Protein backbone atom coordinates (compact mmCIF):
# COMPACT_ATOMS: atom_id res chain seq x y z
CA UNK A 1 0.00 0.00 0.00
CA UNK A 2 2.80 2.37 1.00
CA UNK A 3 4.85 1.50 -2.07
CA UNK A 4 1.81 2.23 -4.21
CA UNK A 5 1.34 5.58 -2.48
CA UNK A 6 4.96 6.51 -3.10
CA UNK A 7 4.80 5.54 -6.76
CA UNK A 8 1.61 7.58 -7.18
CA UNK A 9 3.32 10.57 -5.54
CA UNK A 10 6.24 10.24 -7.92
CA UNK A 11 3.84 9.98 -10.83
CA UNK A 12 1.95 13.10 -9.76
CA UNK A 13 5.17 15.04 -9.21
CA UNK A 14 6.38 14.02 -12.66
CA UNK A 15 3.10 15.17 -14.17
CA UNK A 16 3.14 18.48 -12.29
CA UNK A 17 6.72 19.25 -13.29
CA UNK A 18 6.55 18.11 -16.89
CA UNK A 19 7.23 20.78 -19.50
CA UNK A 20 4.36 20.80 -22.00
CA UNK A 21 3.69 17.96 -24.42
CA UNK A 22 6.44 15.36 -23.96
CA UNK A 23 7.11 11.63 -24.07
CA UNK A 24 4.17 9.29 -23.49
CA UNK A 25 4.57 7.34 -20.24
CA UNK A 26 3.16 3.95 -19.42
CA UNK A 27 0.77 3.89 -16.50
CA UNK A 28 -0.79 1.22 -14.37
CA UNK A 29 -4.61 1.24 -14.47
CA UNK A 30 -4.89 2.14 -10.77
CA UNK A 31 -2.71 5.23 -11.03
CA UNK A 32 -4.68 6.43 -14.06
CA UNK A 33 -7.91 5.83 -12.17
CA UNK A 34 -6.67 7.79 -9.15
CA UNK A 35 -5.39 10.63 -11.28
CA UNK A 36 -8.63 10.77 -13.27
CA UNK A 37 -10.88 10.72 -10.22
CA UNK A 38 -8.90 13.59 -8.65
CA UNK A 39 -9.81 15.84 -11.61
CA UNK A 40 -12.97 17.96 -11.49
CA UNK A 41 -14.74 16.97 -14.69
CA UNK A 42 -17.67 19.10 -15.92
CA UNK A 43 -19.68 17.95 -18.91
CA UNK A 44 -21.38 21.04 -20.35
CA UNK A 45 -24.10 19.17 -22.27
CA UNK A 46 -25.92 15.92 -21.58
CA UNK A 47 -29.42 15.04 -22.81
CA UNK A 48 -30.35 12.45 -20.17
CA UNK A 49 -33.43 14.49 -19.06
CA UNK A 50 -35.07 13.68 -22.42
CA UNK A 51 -35.16 10.11 -21.04
CA UNK A 52 -35.91 10.77 -17.35
CA UNK A 53 -38.88 12.88 -18.48
CA UNK A 54 -40.31 9.69 -20.01
CA UNK A 55 -39.75 7.72 -16.81
CA UNK A 56 -36.23 6.32 -17.26
CA UNK A 57 -34.62 5.73 -13.85
CA UNK A 58 -31.17 7.36 -13.81
CA UNK A 59 -30.12 5.16 -10.88
CA UNK A 60 -30.51 1.89 -12.76
CA UNK A 61 -27.92 0.69 -15.24
CA UNK A 62 -29.47 0.66 -18.70
CA UNK A 63 -28.36 -1.20 -21.77
CA UNK A 64 -29.18 1.56 -24.22
CA UNK A 65 -28.20 5.23 -24.15
CA UNK A 66 -25.04 6.81 -22.81
CA UNK A 67 -25.83 7.94 -19.27
CA UNK A 68 -26.88 6.48 -15.93
CA UNK A 69 -25.67 6.93 -12.37
CA UNK A 70 -23.40 3.86 -12.24
CA UNK A 71 -21.72 4.88 -15.48
CA UNK A 72 -21.37 8.53 -14.36
CA UNK A 73 -19.55 7.27 -11.24
CA UNK A 74 -17.42 4.89 -13.29
CA UNK A 75 -16.50 7.76 -15.61
CA UNK A 76 -15.50 10.05 -12.75
CA UNK A 77 -17.96 12.76 -13.87
CA UNK A 78 -18.29 15.47 -11.21
CA UNK A 79 -20.70 17.97 -12.74
CA UNK A 80 -23.17 17.83 -15.60
CA UNK A 81 -25.19 20.51 -17.32
CA UNK A 82 -28.35 18.50 -17.96
CA UNK A 83 -30.24 19.77 -20.95
CA UNK A 84 -33.75 21.11 -20.54
CA UNK A 85 -34.31 20.55 -24.24
CA UNK A 86 -37.54 21.78 -25.79
CA UNK A 87 -38.26 20.31 -29.22
CA UNK A 88 -39.43 22.81 -31.83
CA UNK A 89 -42.77 20.99 -32.16
CA UNK A 90 -43.91 22.52 -28.87
CA UNK A 91 -43.88 25.98 -30.49
CA UNK A 92 -46.73 25.07 -32.85
CA UNK A 93 -48.73 23.64 -29.96
CA UNK A 94 -48.14 26.79 -27.89
CA UNK A 95 -46.58 24.57 -25.23
CA UNK A 96 -42.91 25.54 -25.34
CA UNK A 97 -42.80 27.07 -21.85
CA UNK A 98 -44.97 24.22 -20.52
CA UNK A 99 -42.41 21.75 -21.87
CA UNK A 100 -39.55 23.79 -20.44
CA UNK A 101 -41.08 23.45 -16.96
CA UNK A 102 -41.49 19.69 -17.45
CA UNK A 103 -37.86 19.35 -18.52
CA UNK A 104 -36.59 21.39 -15.58
CA UNK A 105 -38.66 19.15 -13.31
CA UNK A 106 -37.21 16.05 -15.00
CA UNK A 107 -33.82 17.28 -13.73
CA UNK A 108 -34.83 18.61 -10.31
CA UNK A 109 -37.19 15.78 -9.31
CA UNK A 110 -36.17 12.72 -11.34
CA UNK A 111 -32.41 13.16 -11.02
CA UNK A 112 -31.54 15.36 -8.02
CA UNK A 113 -34.37 14.66 -5.57
CA UNK A 114 -34.57 10.98 -6.41
CA UNK A 115 -30.89 10.35 -5.66
CA UNK A 116 -29.90 12.93 -3.02
CA UNK A 117 -26.83 10.98 -1.93
CA UNK A 118 -25.39 11.16 -5.43
CA UNK A 119 -26.66 14.39 -6.98
CA UNK A 120 -26.98 17.95 -5.76
CA UNK A 121 -28.44 20.88 -7.70
CA UNK A 122 -25.68 23.41 -8.41
CA UNK A 123 -26.33 27.06 -9.21
CA UNK A 124 -22.84 28.55 -9.01
CA UNK A 125 -19.19 27.70 -9.61
CA UNK A 126 -18.75 27.46 -5.82
CA UNK A 127 -21.62 24.92 -5.67
CA UNK A 128 -19.77 22.72 -8.18
CA UNK A 129 -16.58 22.78 -6.15
CA UNK A 130 -18.47 22.07 -2.92
CA UNK A 131 -20.22 19.08 -4.53
CA UNK A 132 -16.84 17.79 -5.70
CA UNK A 133 -15.44 18.01 -2.17
CA UNK A 134 -18.50 16.15 -0.86
CA UNK A 135 -18.21 13.42 -3.48
CA UNK A 136 -21.51 14.31 -5.13
CA UNK A 137 -22.28 14.95 -8.76
CA UNK A 138 -23.29 18.57 -9.34
CA UNK A 139 -26.41 18.72 -11.51
CA UNK A 140 -26.85 21.94 -13.45
CA UNK A 141 -29.64 23.03 -15.76
CA UNK A 142 -29.08 24.33 -19.29
CA UNK A 143 -32.03 25.36 -21.48
CA UNK A 144 -31.73 24.19 -25.08
CA UNK A 145 -33.75 26.19 -27.61
CA UNK A 146 -34.54 29.85 -26.96
CA UNK A 147 -38.11 29.34 -28.22
CA UNK A 148 -38.67 27.78 -24.76
CA UNK A 149 -39.13 31.23 -23.20
CA UNK A 150 -41.96 32.06 -25.61
CA UNK A 151 -40.48 35.52 -26.30
CA UNK A 152 -40.92 36.53 -22.67
CA UNK A 153 -38.21 37.93 -20.42
CA UNK A 154 -40.51 37.07 -17.49
CA UNK A 155 -40.38 33.39 -18.41
CA UNK A 156 -36.59 33.69 -18.84
CA UNK A 157 -36.36 35.07 -15.30
CA UNK A 158 -38.60 32.29 -13.94
CA UNK A 159 -36.35 29.69 -15.57
CA UNK A 160 -33.34 31.31 -13.91
CA UNK A 161 -35.17 31.22 -10.57
CA UNK A 162 -35.75 27.48 -11.06
CA UNK A 163 -32.03 26.96 -11.58
CA UNK A 164 -31.31 27.34 -15.31
CA UNK A 165 -27.74 28.61 -15.68
CA UNK A 166 -27.28 28.67 -19.42
CA UNK A 167 -29.53 28.97 -22.44
CA UNK A 168 -28.66 27.78 -25.93
CA UNK A 169 -30.25 30.62 -27.87
CA UNK A 170 -31.64 28.37 -30.61
CA UNK A 171 -31.93 24.70 -31.37
CA UNK A 172 -31.89 23.61 -35.05
CA UNK A 173 -34.81 26.01 -35.63
CA UNK A 174 -34.74 29.77 -36.05
CA UNK A 175 -37.02 31.38 -33.46
CA UNK A 176 -38.67 34.81 -33.36
CA UNK A 177 -35.46 36.55 -32.26
CA UNK A 178 -32.39 34.52 -33.29
CA UNK A 179 -31.29 32.66 -36.42
CA UNK A 180 -30.24 29.03 -36.12
CA UNK A 181 -27.54 27.28 -38.15
CA UNK A 182 -30.01 24.45 -38.70
CA UNK A 183 -32.47 25.97 -41.20
CA UNK A 184 -30.52 28.65 -43.07
CA UNK A 185 -31.19 26.99 -46.44
CA UNK A 186 -34.92 26.62 -45.78
CA UNK A 187 -36.70 29.30 -47.86
CA UNK A 188 -39.94 28.86 -45.88
CA UNK A 189 -38.25 30.13 -42.69
CA UNK A 190 -38.16 33.86 -41.95
CA UNK A 191 -34.59 34.74 -41.00
CA UNK A 192 -33.52 37.91 -39.21
CA UNK A 193 -29.84 38.17 -40.15
CA UNK A 194 -28.68 37.22 -36.63
CA UNK A 195 -30.26 38.57 -33.44
CA UNK A 196 -33.30 40.86 -33.55
CA UNK A 197 -33.46 43.86 -31.17
CA UNK A 198 -35.49 41.65 -28.80
CA UNK A 199 -32.80 38.95 -29.15
CA UNK A 200 -30.26 41.52 -28.01
CA UNK A 201 -32.50 42.28 -25.05
CA UNK A 202 -32.59 38.57 -24.17
CA UNK A 203 -28.77 38.47 -24.15
CA UNK A 204 -28.59 41.58 -21.97
CA UNK A 205 -31.13 40.16 -19.52
CA UNK A 206 -29.17 36.89 -19.35
CA UNK A 207 -26.06 38.96 -18.51
CA UNK A 208 -27.97 40.76 -15.77
CA UNK A 209 -29.33 37.53 -14.32
CA UNK A 210 -26.05 35.60 -14.49
CA UNK A 211 -27.18 33.04 -17.05
CA UNK A 212 -24.48 31.96 -19.51
CA UNK A 213 -25.24 32.67 -23.17
CA UNK A 214 -24.68 29.52 -25.23
CA UNK A 215 -23.95 29.88 -28.96
CA UNK A 216 -24.09 26.21 -29.96
CA UNK A 217 -26.72 25.72 -32.73
CA UNK A 218 -26.92 29.44 -33.67
CA UNK A 219 -26.06 30.80 -37.13
CA UNK A 220 -22.72 32.50 -37.67
CA UNK A 221 -24.42 35.90 -37.86
CA UNK A 222 -26.15 35.27 -34.53
CA UNK A 223 -22.80 34.19 -33.07
CA UNK A 224 -21.16 37.49 -34.06
CA UNK A 225 -24.13 39.50 -32.79
CA UNK A 226 -23.93 37.72 -29.42
CA UNK A 227 -20.23 38.46 -29.12
CA UNK A 228 -20.92 42.12 -29.84
CA UNK A 229 -23.82 42.42 -27.38
CA UNK A 230 -22.85 40.22 -24.43
CA UNK A 231 -21.11 41.89 -21.50
CA UNK A 232 -19.97 38.50 -20.16
CA UNK A 233 -17.98 35.62 -21.67
CA UNK A 234 -20.10 33.16 -23.65
CA UNK A 235 -19.79 29.44 -24.32
CA UNK A 236 -20.48 26.94 -27.06
CA UNK A 237 -21.80 24.15 -24.82
CA UNK A 238 -21.60 21.35 -27.40
CA UNK A 239 -19.80 22.25 -30.63
CA UNK A 240 -16.51 21.18 -32.19
CA UNK A 241 -14.08 22.55 -34.80
CA UNK A 242 -15.20 23.30 -38.34
CA UNK A 243 -11.58 23.13 -39.49
CA UNK A 244 -11.71 19.36 -38.88
CA UNK A 245 -15.37 18.54 -39.50
CA UNK A 246 -16.92 21.15 -41.75
CA UNK A 247 -20.53 21.33 -40.53
CA UNK A 248 -22.55 24.42 -39.65
CA UNK A 249 -22.92 23.22 -36.02
CA UNK A 250 -19.15 23.54 -35.49
CA UNK A 251 -17.14 26.74 -35.02
CA UNK A 252 -14.53 28.09 -37.44
CA UNK A 253 -11.04 28.91 -36.16
CA UNK A 254 -11.90 32.61 -36.46
CA UNK A 255 -14.99 32.13 -34.30
CA UNK A 256 -13.06 30.08 -31.72
CA UNK A 257 -10.42 32.81 -31.47
CA UNK A 258 -13.08 35.51 -31.02
CA UNK A 259 -14.89 33.42 -28.40
CA UNK A 260 -11.60 32.95 -26.53
CA UNK A 261 -10.74 36.64 -26.74
CA UNK A 262 -13.97 37.34 -24.88
CA UNK A 263 -12.96 34.84 -22.20
CA UNK A 264 -15.30 32.11 -23.45
CA UNK A 265 -14.97 28.36 -23.91
CA UNK A 266 -15.87 25.90 -26.65
CA UNK A 267 -16.95 22.60 -25.10
CA UNK A 268 -16.15 19.81 -27.54
CA UNK A 269 -19.09 17.73 -28.79
CA UNK A 270 -18.24 14.00 -29.04
CA UNK A 271 -20.89 13.15 -31.68
CA UNK A 272 -19.28 11.24 -34.59
CA UNK A 273 -20.40 13.80 -37.18
CA UNK A 274 -19.05 16.66 -35.07
CA UNK A 275 -15.56 15.22 -34.79
CA UNK A 276 -15.11 13.27 -38.04
CA UNK A 277 -15.64 14.59 -41.58
CA UNK A 278 -16.14 11.02 -42.84
CA UNK A 279 -18.99 10.55 -40.37
CA UNK A 280 -20.53 13.94 -41.26
CA UNK A 281 -20.35 13.21 -45.00
CA UNK A 282 -22.19 9.90 -44.53
CA UNK A 283 -24.99 11.42 -42.44
CA UNK A 284 -28.04 12.81 -44.29
CA UNK A 285 -28.74 15.06 -41.30
CA UNK A 286 -25.37 16.80 -41.65
CA UNK A 287 -24.92 16.38 -45.41
CA UNK A 288 -27.90 17.96 -47.26
CA UNK A 289 -26.55 16.81 -50.67
CA UNK A 290 -26.66 13.20 -49.51
CA UNK A 291 -30.13 13.70 -48.07
CA UNK A 292 -31.42 14.67 -51.53
CA UNK A 293 -29.94 11.52 -53.13
CA UNK A 294 -31.56 9.11 -50.67
CA UNK A 295 -34.84 7.31 -51.29
CA UNK A 296 -37.50 7.78 -48.59
CA UNK A 297 -36.80 5.66 -45.55
CA UNK A 298 -33.20 4.97 -46.59
CA UNK A 299 -30.77 5.34 -43.68
CA UNK A 300 -27.10 4.95 -44.50
CA UNK A 301 -24.71 3.60 -41.89
CA UNK A 302 -22.58 6.41 -40.44
CA UNK A 303 -18.97 5.29 -39.88
CA UNK A 304 -18.03 5.79 -36.24
CA UNK A 305 -15.42 8.32 -35.16
CA UNK A 306 -12.69 7.38 -32.67
CA UNK A 307 -11.50 8.71 -29.34
CA UNK A 308 -8.46 10.14 -31.15
CA UNK A 309 -10.77 12.37 -33.22
CA UNK A 310 -12.03 14.03 -30.03
CA UNK A 311 -8.43 14.56 -28.90
CA UNK A 312 -7.68 16.19 -32.28
CA UNK A 313 -10.47 18.75 -31.70
CA UNK A 314 -9.19 19.58 -28.22
CA UNK A 315 -5.73 20.07 -29.69
CA UNK A 316 -7.07 22.22 -32.52
CA UNK A 317 -8.62 24.64 -30.01
CA UNK A 318 -5.42 24.65 -27.96
CA UNK A 319 -3.48 25.48 -31.12
CA UNK A 320 -5.70 28.27 -32.46
CA UNK A 321 -6.93 29.89 -29.25
CA UNK A 322 -5.00 28.50 -26.30
CA UNK A 323 -5.78 25.93 -23.64
CA UNK A 324 -7.99 28.47 -21.78
CA UNK A 325 -10.58 28.18 -24.55
CA UNK A 326 -11.44 24.47 -24.47
CA UNK A 327 -13.91 22.41 -22.45
CA UNK A 328 -16.02 19.25 -22.63
CA UNK A 329 -19.63 19.14 -23.90
CA UNK A 330 -20.15 15.49 -24.84
CA UNK A 331 -23.80 15.68 -26.01
CA UNK A 332 -24.19 12.13 -24.66
CA UNK A 333 -27.78 10.94 -25.09
CA UNK A 334 -28.30 13.79 -27.55
CA UNK A 335 -26.30 12.21 -30.39
CA UNK A 336 -26.85 8.77 -31.89
CA UNK A 337 -23.27 7.95 -32.83
CA UNK A 338 -20.45 8.16 -30.29
CA UNK A 339 -16.75 7.53 -30.94
CA UNK A 340 -15.15 4.13 -30.51
CA UNK A 341 -13.39 4.34 -27.14
CA UNK A 342 -15.61 7.18 -25.89
CA UNK A 343 -18.87 5.27 -26.19
CA UNK A 344 -20.62 6.66 -23.09
CA UNK A 345 -20.07 8.60 -19.84
CA UNK A 346 -18.17 5.71 -18.25
CA UNK A 347 -15.32 6.09 -20.73
CA UNK A 348 -13.93 9.49 -19.66
CA UNK A 349 -10.82 7.89 -18.06
CA UNK A 350 -9.81 6.78 -21.57
CA UNK A 351 -9.83 10.45 -22.64
CA UNK A 352 -7.58 11.31 -19.70
CA UNK A 353 -5.25 8.49 -20.69
CA UNK A 354 -5.16 9.73 -24.29
CA UNK A 355 -4.41 13.33 -23.22
CA UNK A 356 -1.62 12.14 -20.89
CA UNK A 357 -0.22 10.11 -23.76
CA UNK A 358 -0.22 13.29 -25.89
CA UNK A 359 1.91 14.95 -23.20
CA UNK A 360 -0.67 17.06 -21.39
CA UNK A 361 0.08 17.65 -17.72
CA UNK A 362 -2.40 16.99 -14.93
CA UNK A 363 -3.00 20.74 -14.40
CA UNK A 364 -3.64 21.23 -18.11
CA UNK A 365 -6.19 18.41 -18.21
CA UNK A 366 -7.83 19.88 -15.10
CA UNK A 367 -8.16 23.16 -16.97
CA UNK A 368 -9.78 21.49 -20.00
CA UNK A 369 -12.10 19.35 -17.87
CA UNK A 370 -13.43 22.01 -15.54
CA UNK A 371 -11.14 24.93 -14.77
CA UNK A 372 -12.03 26.89 -17.88
CA UNK A 373 -15.78 26.51 -17.46
CA UNK A 374 -15.56 27.43 -13.76
CA UNK A 375 -13.70 30.57 -14.82
CA UNK A 376 -16.49 31.47 -17.27
CA UNK A 377 -19.15 30.84 -14.60
CA UNK A 378 -17.34 33.09 -12.13
CA UNK A 379 -17.00 35.82 -14.75
CA UNK A 380 -20.70 35.57 -15.64
CA UNK A 381 -21.62 35.70 -11.93
CA UNK A 382 -19.39 38.77 -11.45
CA UNK A 383 -20.90 40.62 -14.44
CA UNK A 384 -24.39 39.90 -13.09
CA UNK A 385 -23.48 41.29 -9.65
CA UNK A 386 -22.08 44.39 -11.31
CA UNK A 387 -25.10 44.95 -13.57
CA UNK A 388 -27.59 44.32 -10.78
CA UNK A 389 -25.89 46.78 -8.50
CA UNK A 390 -26.35 49.34 -11.29
CA UNK A 391 -22.67 50.04 -11.88
ZN1 LIG B 1 -27.95 20.32 -29.23
E strands, 118-173, where? 119-121, 137-144, 164-168
Distance (Å, rounded) from C-alpha 138 to C-alpha 77? 9
Distance 14 CA to ligand 1 centre (A): 39
Distance 144 CA to ligand 1 centre (A): 7
Task: Give the active site residues.
Answer: 45, 47, 144, 171, 217, 238, 331
Residue 297: the pLDDT is 82
Query: 12-44 pLDDT, tens per residue?
Result: 444 444 444 445 555 666 799 999 999 999 999
Query: 253-301 pLDDT, tens per residue?
Result: 999 999 999 999 999 999 999 999 999 999 988 988 888 888 888 888 8
Distance (Å, rounded) from C-alpha 24 to C-alpha 7? 17
Distance 46 CA to ligand 1 centre (A): 9
Mean pLDDT computed over every residue of the chain = 93
**Does 126 have pLDDT greater than 50?**
yes
Distance 2 CA to ligand 1 centre (A): 47
**Does 242 have pLDDT greater than 90?**
yes
pLDDT classification of 391: cutoffs 50, 70, 90: low
Distance 215 CA to ligand 1 centre (A): 10
Query: Inter-axis angle of helices 348-357 and 307-321, to 10 degrees?
Result: 60
Distance 228 CA to ligand 1 centre (A): 23
Query: 72-102 pLDDT, tens per residue?
Result: 999 999 999 999 999 999 999 999 999 999 9
Domains of the chain with bracketed CATH? 43-388 (3.20.20.140)
pLDDT classification of 156: cutoffs 50, 70, 90: very high
Distance 145 CA to ligand 1 centre (A): 8
Query: Inter-axis angle of helices 29-38 and 2-17, to 10 degrees?
Result: 60
Q: What does the DSSP assignment read for 210-255? A: T-EEE-TTB-HHHHHHHHHH-SS--EETT--BTTTS--TTSBPHHH
Closest by alpha carbon to 197, among 248, 153, 143?
Answer: 153
Residue 291: the pLDDT is 83
Distance 249 CA to ligand 1 centre (A): 9
Query: 323-360 pLDDT, tens per residue?
Result: 999 999 999 999 999 999 999 999 999 999 999 999 99
Distance 60 CA to ligand 1 centre (A): 25
Residue 6: the pLDDT is 46
Average pLDDT over residues 148-168: 98
Residue 14: the pLDDT is 45
The answer to whether the beta carbons of residues 115 and 57 sit under 8 Å apart is: no
Distance (Å, rounded) from C-alpha 14 to C-alpha 20? 12
Amino acid sequence: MRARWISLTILLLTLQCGEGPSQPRSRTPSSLEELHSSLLLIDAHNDLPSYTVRGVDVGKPRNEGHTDLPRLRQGGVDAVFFSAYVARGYVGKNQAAHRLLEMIDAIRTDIVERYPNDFVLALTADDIQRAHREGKIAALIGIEGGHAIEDSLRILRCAYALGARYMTLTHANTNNWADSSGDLDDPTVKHHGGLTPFGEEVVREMNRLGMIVDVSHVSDQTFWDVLRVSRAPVIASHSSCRAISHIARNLSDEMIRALAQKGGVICINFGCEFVSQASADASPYFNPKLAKQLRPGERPQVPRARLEDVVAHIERVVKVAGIEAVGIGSDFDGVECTPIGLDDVSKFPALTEALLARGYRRDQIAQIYGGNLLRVMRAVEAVARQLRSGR
